Structure 1
Amino acid sequence: MESKDYLKDISEIKNMMNKSSRFISLSGLSGILAGIYALIGAAIAYWLVTTSVRGYLILDGAIFRICLFILLMVAFLSIVTGIILTTKKAKKHGAKIWDATSKRLVYNFLIPMVAGGLYIIIILSQGKYGHTGGLMLIFYGLALVNASKYSIGDIQYLGLIQIALGLIAALFPGYGFWLWVLGFGVMHIVYGTWMHFKYDVNK
């Protein structure tokens, strides 16, 4: 009996240490919605490009600016949804949404994202946008892997998949758009569904 109590105490201490060092309130549903936003945005952008007079993107064209706006809106909606649902989950479990761990999570996530965003802006200004989709996937994947040590470890697997898709897009730039759709759209839905049933349902 004492042995069982001892093992139980060790397990509880381990869980407490894990919660104190990792931000575990991320919502799986927010991942699903982020994927849906990406698919909707991609569908609108694809329709705009394919029905335009030129049939392809040019940097100084109105269609490109609209597609850029759509991309920013997808990112904005994903971030806002993530914050709202994660805050709701944290409150449900009595956890703090903004503490030292979550600050480290955001900091480590933003380093690759900011660097990647600046790099993409630079190459776009030079008229080189054939690898933009692949670069987005790679830097986003690096951000997820970098931040995973301060959150649910499963995030790193999504990050590795995004990096792999980005590298494939670099090899086959003609498929960059569809790989972007697969990474930011489909994989977010698959990952979000997995996380929702693993961590959110009946928790």
Structure 2
Amino acid sequence: MDSTKEHLDTLQEIRNLMEKSSRFISLSGLSGVFAGLYALAGAAAAYYYLDLGLLEPSYYEYLYTGGKVNTDFIVFFLADALAVLCAALATGIFLTTRNAKKQGLPIWSNTSKRLVISMAIPLVAGGLFCLAMLYQHMFVMLAPATLLFYGLALINGSKYTLRDVYYLGLCELALGIAGSFLLGYGLLIWAIGFGVLHIIYGTVMYYKYERVS
């Protein structure tokens, strides 16, 4: 009986080692929570700048009729988006690095390189596409486009990390598609996708993988 248990323990240990070598499992759930909070703060700043109510539709029509589309408008939204992105990246790198050290795993390995590359392709393409839409003043599709490309990046990179990332990608993709049809609520849907979903995802990740360790 003891011999059988030892064999099972050995097999489980081998399985864990193989999973660690083939998947980047040091992602921090708390970084997802913080990313969601930053996104909600960025969305709140946008609503304040536009002087709109939370559920007020057709914000893009208001931009044109209200004369809000100008250089100041574009600079504000670029600064707002970059602030959210930089804060989320900085927090994510710090917490994920700390998590990797706690688990005794390398932060920069062949697996993490493949993860970054697989996510970077749709993210870079999506970023350039969004810049093109911004240049052409096609603001109406910016919010859903970011969700669509981000969802594709998560799905593409999920094979190199935890399976939970795949499901988050599907949810982001679904919201991006919904936002493409509900254009007047694009900013609200963006806040749900990058804000609320990240907070839920990060909380689940933390209690599922980190709090027990």
TM-score by length of 1: 0.95
Cα displacement (A) at 1:78? 0.2
1:134 and 2:127 correspond: no
Say what the alpha-carbon RMSD is for the aligned residues.
1.8
> Which one of the candidate residues 79, 83, 92 is aligned to 1:69?
79
Rounded Cα–Cα distance in structure 2 between residues aligned with 1:8 and 1:57: 68
1:34 and 2:35 correspond: yes
Instruction: Call closer, same or farther: CA 1:150–1:102 in 2, change over 3 Å.
Output: same
Where do 5+ consecutive residues of structure 1 fail to align? none
1:61-100, aligned counterparts within 5 Å? 61-100=71-110
Rounded Cα–Cα distance in structure 1 between residues aligned with 2:133 and 2:22: 38
Letter in 1 for 2:201: Y
Letter in 1 for 2:6: D
Contact 1:49/1:63, CA 8 A, preserved across alignment: no
Cα displacement (A) at 1:58? 4.5
1:14-53, aligned counterparts within 5 Å? 14-50=15-51
Cα displacement (A) at 1:57? 7.4
Figure out how many residues of one structure are paired with residues of the other and give that number.
Answer: 203
Letter in 1 for 2:38: Y
Cα displacement (A) at 1:165? 0.1
Letter in 2 for 1:18: E
Q: Runs of 4+ in structure 1 displaced over 6 angstroms?
A: 51-55
The CA deviation string for residues 137-192 of structure 1, in whole angstroms up to 9 with x for no partner, is 01000101111111111101110000000000011111110000000000000100
1:185 and 2:180 correspond: no
Identity of aligned residues (%): 46
Contact 2:63/2:69, CA 8 A, preserved across alignment: no
The CA deviation string for residues 124-143 of structure 1, in whole angstroms up to 9 with x for no partner, is 22221211110100100010
Where do 5+ consecutive residues of structure 2 fail to align? 53-61
